[in-house]
Each structure stands twice: as structure tokens, then as C-alpha cells.
Amino acid sequence: MKLSLLPEQLPRNRPALGLAVGAGVFALAVLLRWNLGGLGEGLGPIALLPAILLAGLFGGVWVGSIVASVCVAVGWVWFFPPYGTLILSTRHVVTMAMLVATAALELYVVAVLNRAIDNLSAARERSNTLFRELQHRVANNLQFVAALLRLRRKTLERDSLGAQALEAAQDRLDMLARVHRRLNSPIAADQPAGPYLEALCADLIKASDTPHIRLEVSAEPIVLDLEALMSVSLIVAELVTNSLKHAFSNGGEGCISIDFRLSGQQHLLSVADNGVGLPKTVASGKTGSLGQGILQSLVRQLRGTITIEGSGGTTARIRFPA
């Protein structure tokens, strides 16, 4: 399971939390100094510095300043003999001056760090907004081009080679736009590939108007990086689209199953249907069709291999490095 904590997600600017953490560390330092007795002379009020730092990190500079003031006052009165008085020797005055200077430096660093985190968060949000807008426009442009191809296809003879070529290009642009929109979901890159592929294939089946086709997905909780997820999504979408278009052309019921798992240092992905199967030339990859070329290109991007079996239905198996 992959966990990450961004700087802007750190618990900061929470006065109650800062006061609680500062007070806890302060109490711990006082107890340590009190119980050590003479052994704690060399430690002095320096033991209070962590309380100031943590209070500032969690609660902000103002909370850190409050804790720092308390620490300086308590350190002055109770950490140097004679205890309970404001009398300090020359040596202890130097120590107190170092405490004040170090506390001020800590709070300055906290202020600079908070400002940097705020700037980073704002820049990240601007970048995400621009990226989402760009991806939205790309998906819209893909659908626009697909619509143009659809209009152009209507001007050609229904079964002509040109009409078939435009239909194939249009279908793939529609598929690419659908994959593109799903990949740019905020949770797509962080969730396991199984639920994502299941939602994508369910969307493809629904769009193909084939409600009688059943979908079965079995996948281990594998999280892919965005580049690999894009290639895997396009491979699965291409194979599922082919099954919907050719394997169940008789209109009967059928099933498309997807299996995705990790075996050693290899990802194993299979997409199978129980339809009419493929001709031997297609199963062997010798047709030179657009779909075969797309599949081979996508598999090469993953540095993997693909085999297709076309008897008793169609099964495609893809292996690529983990």
C-alpha cells in the first residue's frame, strides 16, 4: 500500500494542537530537568527548545511565541540556582541569551517554512487547474474529430472501404476520449487498476448497447503509474471493443472476463470472451490490421509481449515487467 503526505497536508496552523503538543513537550522537559537534579545542570533550558519548535510547527508562529515566552520565563526562574528567583550569574545570562536567540531562529524558520508551503500549495492548485482544463479540452477535441469522421462517413457508401476505415478511426477516437476522461479522474492514479478497468469496461459495454454481455473482472490490488495505466487501459479497451464488435455479432448472450495479477516480476493481464473466436490469421497476428498494429504498439510501450488464441472464444494474454 502506497502512502504519501504532501507538505500542504501537514497538520499546521492549528492553535489547539500546537498548544497541546507544546505543553506536553514542555512538561516532559521540566520533569526531566527536575528529576535529574544536578545532572541536568548542563542541559539547562535548552531542553525546552523542542516544545517551542513543535508548538510553532503545529500551531503557527503566534502559538510558538506564546510557548517560547513561557519557556523563557520558566527557564529563567526554575532552571538556574538560586531557584525561584530572577538572579542569574554571568554564565547563566549567556545561556539564557542563547535560548532566546535559538527560539527566535526556530520561529523564523517556521514562518519561512509555512510561507513556502502556502506558495507551493497555491502553485500546485494553479497547475492542477490548468492541467484539468487542458485534459478536458483534449477529450473534447477527440470527440469533435470523431463527430467529423461520423459526418464524413455518412457521405460514403455504407459498405465501402472508405466508410469502413472512417468507422474504425471514429470508434478508436471515441474509445480514446472515454479512456482519457477516466484517466483524468482525481483518484485514477492512486486506486488499484482492477476497479478502474472494471468501470472502464462497463462503460464500453453500456456504450455499445449490448446489455446481454456480462463482465467479470478478477484483479489483484495492483497500482500502476499513470503512463502504464494509460497503455493498459487502451489495450483492454481495444480488446473489449473488438469482442463486443465481432465475438457476439449474433446478438446472443456472452461473457467478457478480465484477469490481472502479479507473478514474480511480471504483470499478467488476460482479456477473454466466450464468443465465436477469431480467424487463425488474426489470432496469429498476421493480418496487419489497424487493431493489431495498435495492440502491438501499446504492448511495446510496456516492454511486454502479447499472445492471442482464437479457438473456443478469444483470449489475449499480455505480459509486461512489474
pLDDT in tens, 106-117: 999 989 988 888
Q: Which of 35-39, 134-138, 208-212 has the lowest mean pLDDT?
A: 35-39
pLDDT level of residue 46 (50, 70, 90 thresholds): confident
Tell me the backbone φ, ψ of residue 143, rounded to 5 degrees.
-70, -35
Sign of CA dihedral 83, 88, 94, 98: positive
Both 117 and 219 in a single domain? no
Q: Is the pLDDT of residue 1 over 50?
A: no
Contact 273, 232 (CB under 8 A): no
CATH number assigned to the domain comprising residue 284: 3.30.565.10
* Distance from C-alpha of 277 to C-alpha of 267, rounded to nearest angstrom: 25
Q: Is the pLDDT of residue 70 over 50?
A: yes
Asked if residue 19 is part of any domain, the answer here is yes
Q: Is the pLDDT of residue 180 over 60?
A: yes
* Distance from C-alpha of 65 to C-alpha of 104, rounded to nearest angstrom: 8
Q: Is the pLDDT of residue 39 over 70?
A: no
Tell which wins on pLDDT, 17 or 139: 17
Domains held by the chain: number: 2
pLDDT in tens, 247-267: 776 666 788 999 999 988 899
List, in order, residues 6 or more apart from 196 with CB less than 8 Å away: 182, 188, 229, 233
Q: Is the pLDDT of residue 221 over 60?
A: yes
Asked if residue 162 is part of any domain, the answer here is no
Q: Is the pLDDT of residue 131 over 60?
A: yes
Q: Is the pLDDT of residue 272 over 50?
A: yes
Percent of the chain whose predicted confidence (pLDDT) is above 90: 7
* Distance from C-alpha of 78 to C-alpha of 45, rounded to nearest angstrom: 9
The average pLDDT across 169-176 equals 70
Give the mean pLDDT of the chain: 78
Tell me, what's the pLDDT at 44?
67
Residue 139's CB is within 10 A of a number of other CB atoms, namely 19
Both 16 and 111 in a single domain? yes
* Distance from C-alpha of 265 to C-alpha of 255, rounded to nearest angstrom: 30
Strand partners, 272: 257, 315
Contact 23, 64 (CB under 8 A): no
Domain span at residue 41 reads 7-124
| Domain-ending residue, one of 78, 105, 124 | 124
Q: Is the pLDDT of residue 122 over 50?
A: yes
Asked if residue 131 is part of any domain, the answer here is no
Asked if residue 232 is part of any domain, the answer here is yes
Q: Beta strands 254-263 and 266-273: pairing type?
A: antiparallel
Both 120 and 196 in a single domain? no
Percent of the chain whose predicted confidence (pLDDT) is above 70: 78
Both 204 and 298 in a single domain? yes
| Domain-ending residue, one of 105, 124, 143 | 124
- Which pTM was predicted? 0.56
The average pLDDT across 94-120 equals 88
Both 317 and 204 in a single domain? yes
pLDDT in tens, 274-315: 887 665 545 444 445 656 777 888 899 899 999 888 777 888
Q: Which of 73-87, 172-186, 234-248, 288-302 has the lowest mean pLDDT?
A: 172-186
pLDDT level of residue 2 (50, 70, 90 thresholds): very low
Q: Is the pLDDT of residue 241 over 90?
A: no
Would you state the cell numbers that stand for residue 4, as one nine-digit string? 504519501
Q: Which of 34-43, 267-276, 289-298 has the lowest mean pLDDT?
A: 34-43
| Domain-ending residue, one of 84, 99, 124 | 124
Contact 236, 258 (CB under 8 A): yes
Sign of CA dihedral 70, 76, 82, 86: negative
Tell which wins on pLDDT, 312 or 3: 312
pLDDT level of residue 35 (50, 70, 90 thresholds): confident
Return the HEC string of the chain.
CCCCCCHHHCCCCCHHHHHHHHHHHHHHHHHHHHHHHHHHCCCHHHHHHHHHHHHHHHHCHHHHHHHHHHHHHHHHHHCCCCCCCCCCCHHHHHHHHHHHHHHHHHHHHHHHHHHHHHHHHHHHHHHHHHHHHHHHHHHHHHHHHHHHHHHHHCCCCCCCHHHHHHHHHHHHHHHHHHHHHHHCCCCCCCCCHHHHHHHHHHHHHHHCCCCCEEEEEEECCCCCCHHHHHHHHHHHHHHHHHHHHHHCCCCCCEEEEEEEEEECCEEEEEEEECCCCCCHHHHCCCCCCHHHHHHHHHHHHCCCEEEEECCCCEEEEEEEEC
pLDDT level of residue 18 (50, 70, 90 thresholds): confident
